[in-house]
Amino acid sequence: MPSLSPTMTEGQIVEWLKKEGDAVSAGDLLCSIQTDKTVVGMEIDEDGILAKILVPTDSSDKIQINTPIALLVEEGEDWQNVEIPSEVAGAAAPSAPTSPDQGESHAFPDTPLTYGPAVRSILDIYSLSPSQLVGTGPHGRLLKGDLLRYIQEEGLKPAPVPQVALPVGAPVSAATPPPSPPPPSSLPPSPPSKQAPLPADDSMFEDIPLTNIRSIIAKRLTESKMGTPHAYSVGDCAIGNILQLRKDLADDGVKVSVNDFIVKACAVALQRVPAVNAQWSGGEVRLLSDIDISVAVATPSGLITPIVKDAIGLGLEGISSTTKELAKRARENKLKPEEFQGGSFTVSNLGMFGISHFTAIINPPQAAILAVGGSRMVLDPETEAPVAKMSATLCYDERVIDDSVAAEFMQTFKEVMQNPMLMLSQSKPINLKSLFERPS
């Protein structure tokens, strides 16, 4: 299992693109692998024959990096009778396919597992042992539905509450009345009932197992939210000039989106306020020289952030075509690792969904993400004329970016958005036409 990203520790085989006995050449795609970020094709780096697939496509196991997943032999060798080294067979054993006589469900393992509170409650109520049941969850995990089906099939009733017996030889006197209870005012409060709740009907909900990428996204977002001191700076900017310029460009056959203007404005603001173009790295602040802006894209398997590299050097049409191509390949799981790993800043735009404003979680190791809402018409307090305004929230790592620096960035971003010709401000001399030129 190759390491296809700096943060990858395990992966899953999504699809084998070659079958056993196929000849392969250096550069061929051998299989598709679910990494901690997306699905990536694995290229083979030498010629040979694919002799043995050790991890099947339908395996749900997560394979640690450097674990053997296949055997390759030289051309001319007897690939059908290749001997699998014992250390290779042992390493790949967790991913071995289930034999036909085992059936689809797995017997509940003898090793202790962590059960959810609902499962523990039902086991207690019905005095059941996990060894009596067959789990149908991942890796034979016992689910609540397994218990409810077993109870219904066996017609079980809740176990009676055991009575506490008196010690042997304890005197029992029928003639002696019990002591009078204390007055109500001195009675201690009754303890809450410890009777476990009855199991809920599993038809009222559905448990959806997490895919590998959803598990990784959940882990990374939790780590970011818990381990990064998030701070926020919110501002509005008038976008009437951008909307008019976009219309004029469309009349001339140049189609760009408001999001393309936002990415370009962020690039200019990052160039003018370079302290925001930074990362938190091993207890130090790392200032980045390249302005590479990640753009959040929703895909069926989860959120991914392909990178518009050198955004400061691209014109609006270049940013537009690059973003469209990256988003298309992201939804098709065809991005290369270098196209979504890294970046110095992220833009997340929900304006097209009618969201007025929101906050986002920082994408480590980046130090900031701009959360952009939709436009709305408001009255200008000076002219009392209706103007289109957009809300944006800078979510930043306060270890890296001071509040005053965040405010300066937002002020610069607002200035550029309200005066789109300032997007011409770049590190190298350019002419007016370069703002809209296509990338070579």
304 vs 172, which has greater pLDDT?
304
Domain ranges of the chain: 10-73, 215-424
174 vs 312, which has greater pLDDT?
312
Q: Give the pLDDT confidence score for residue 303 in this predicted structure.
A: 85
For domain 215-424, give the fold. Chloramphenicol Acetyltransferase (3.30.559)
Q: Give the pLDDT confidence score for residue 73 in this predicted structure.
A: 83
**Model pLDDT for residues 71-85, shown as the tens digit of each residue:** 888 887 778 777 776
Q: Please say if the pLDDT value at position 348 is more than 90.
A: yes
3-class DSSP string for the chain: CCCCCCCCCEEEEEEECCCCCCEECCCCEEEEEECCCCEEEEECCCCEEEEEECCCCCCCCCEECCCCCEEEECCCCCHHHCCCCHHHHHHHHHHCCCCHHHCCCEECCCCCCCCCHHHHHHHHHCCCCHHHCEECCHHHCCCHHHHHHHHHHHCCCCCCCCCCCCCCCCCCCCCCCCCCCCCHHHCCCCCCCCCCCCCCCHHHCCCCCCCHHHHHHHHHHHHHHHHCCEEEEEEEEECHHHHHHHHHHHHCCCCCCHHHHHHHHHHHHHHHCHHHCEEEECCEEEECCCCCEEECEEECCEEECCEECCHHHCCHHHHHHHHHHHHHHHHCCCCCHHHCCCCCEEEEECHHHCCCCCCCCCCCCECEEEEEEEEEEEECCCCCCEEEEEEEEEEEECCCCCHHHHHHHHHHHHHHHHCHHHHHCCCCCCCHHHHCCCCC
**Model pLDDT for residues 221-246, shown as the tens digit of each residue:** 899 999 999 999 999 999 999 999 99
Confidence of residue 203 (pLDDT cuts 50, 70, 90): low
**Model pLDDT for residues 377-414, shown as the tens digit of each residue:** 888 888 778 899 999 999 999 999 999 999 999 999 99
Confidence of residue 333 (pLDDT cuts 50, 70, 90): confident
Q: Give the pLDDT confidence score for residue 88 in this predicted structure.
A: 58
For domain 10-73, give the fold. OB fold (Dihydrolipoamide Acetyltransferase, E2P) (2.40.50)
What is the chain's mean pLDDT, rounded? 79
**Model pLDDT for residues 29-46, shown as the tens digit of each residue:** 888 888 877 778 888 877
263 vs 211, which has greater pLDDT?
263
Query: How much is the average pLDDT of 261-275?
Result: 96
